[in-house]
Amino acid sequence: MSGLAAYQGRVVAEKAELDAKLYALATFANTPVFSSLDPAEQDRMVRQSRAMRSYSDILGERIAAFTATTKETT
């Protein structure tokens, strides 16, 4: 994504890192180890995953706005 300001590039990198962590958490949630955890801990991890997804979605909206703005100015 060339043409982005430095802070915008950091947002893109942040989303990529967050999405990798979200994928890892989702993968872990499908393992026997996750199933063996205390139900309260499972619930916390599920809620964490939802919060991470929401955060990722917001970052995605910001990135879409960056690229829309970049296209309008070129």
**HEC profile of the chain:** CCCCCHHHHHHHHHHHHHHHHHHHHHHHCCCHHHHHCCHHHHHHHHHHHHHHHHHHHHHHHHHHHHHHHHHHHC
Residue 25 tokens, joined: 């958490």
Identify the pLDDT of residue 69.
72
pTM of structure? 0.86
Q: Could you state, in chain order, the average pLDDT of each consecutive group of 10 residues for the chain (74 residues)?
A: 87 98 98 98 98 98 88 63
